[in-house]
Amino acid sequence: MIVNVAYTTLSAGLISLFVHFFGQPLLLGYILGGVLVGPQCLGLIKNAVEIDTISELGLILLLFMIGLELDVSEVLRMGSVVCITGLVQFPICLTCHYAFFSALIAAGINFGEGEFTTLYLSGCCGISSTMIVVKLLSQKMETDTAAGRLTIGILIFQDMWCIIMMAIQPNLADPEFTGIVKTFGMMFALLCIAFAYSKYVLPAVFQAASNSLELLLILAMAWCFFVCCIAILPFFNLSMALAALIAGTSMATFPYSTELNGKIKYSRFFCDALLCISRNDDP
């Protein structure tokens, strides 16, 4: 496993440096790095299962970071324009993309196996990357402009739609009303537990550790995985990814959430690189 990680990290680093010179996103370098060391090209890695296990941490950290930015009260203060636009944007985009991909599939273009392929593609295309867009707005000094605030508001609503999708997704194959209601009920119960802890317990804990940024970071990660451990209990039976999003959301109003977000992202970037590479290493 360590040898595979070494190959993938070296490949991703070198190609990411190359694409950076041309002003392209580093994500492109991660993907091309996976193609290079995978069976399609050099064949240095035959099995990406071990890397894939590590890379799943990237998904958990990503959703935790998205949750840290999901301050619902801030969205409500942006006004009705943001709220209405955010509510209707994703359903409209999902419908348009579903019609587009269905037409391509009818024309003989295959996007993969499974009866929900078109729906997954449509959902992914209807949601933007909050991290990338906010970073670009910050680089162009447009975060505080009217267009920037509208964009960030829509992104936050997309994150909310992501929560709904993740709750419904396990029941797509068997869309029974009771199953969906149970999933949302368990999600609501987990939300209540997380927000109760964040209101009555976490402030005192983080206040006691406020003089050490390293300790705050460790406690934030511990909180994330504490909620994840609750979610995977047989009674809840929810995904760790959804739990990470809930854990981050419960800390979004904390005064140091932005600083914690900035520290966590560097660990996530390495996991993201492995995630992109492992998806391209599979034969």
Instruction: Pick the closest to residue 241 from 52, 49, 53, 64 (CA basis).
Output: 64
97-134 pLDDT per residue, tens: 888 888 888 888 777 677 778 888 888 888 776 666 76
Chain segment 203-225, per-residue pLDDT in tens: 888 888 878 877 888 888 899 89
Separation between Cα atoms, residue 269 and residue 95, nearest integer Å: 32
What does each C-alpha distance from 209 to 7, 203, 215, 218, 220 come to in angstroms? 38, 10, 6, 10, 11
Which has more pLDDT, 189 or 1? 189
pLDDT at 267: 60
Q: What is the mean pLDDT of the chain?
A: 76
228, two tokens: 């994840």
Rounded percentage of the chain residues whose pLDDT exceeds 70: 71
The domain locations on the chain are 2-61, 76-173
Mean pLDDT computed over 63-78 = 70
Angle at 214 between CA 210 and CA 216, to 5 degrees: 45
- 82's CB contacts (< 8 A; 6+ apart) are 75, 149, 150, 153, 154, 157
Cα 130 to Cα 221: distance, rounded to the nearest angstrom: 20
Name the one residue in this structure whose structure tokens are 């537990």.
Answer: 193
The conformation of residue 34, written as its DSSP 8-state character, comes to H
Q: Which residues make Cβ contacts (< 8 Å) with residue 229, sequence separation at least 6?
A: none
- Of 39-43, 194-198, 241-245, 247-251, which range is least confident? 39-43
Q: What is the pLDDT of residue 173?
A: 67
Calpha distance 181→212 (Å, rounded): 42
Average of per-residue pLDDT across 74-100: 80
Mind listing the pLDDT tens digit for each residue in 238-270? 888 778 888 888 887 776 666 666 666 656 555
- Nearest of 173, 161, 172 to residue 123 by alpha carbon: 161
Angle at 91 between CA 87 and CA 97, to 5 degrees: 145
Average pLDDT over residues 227-239: 87
Sequence length of the chain is 283
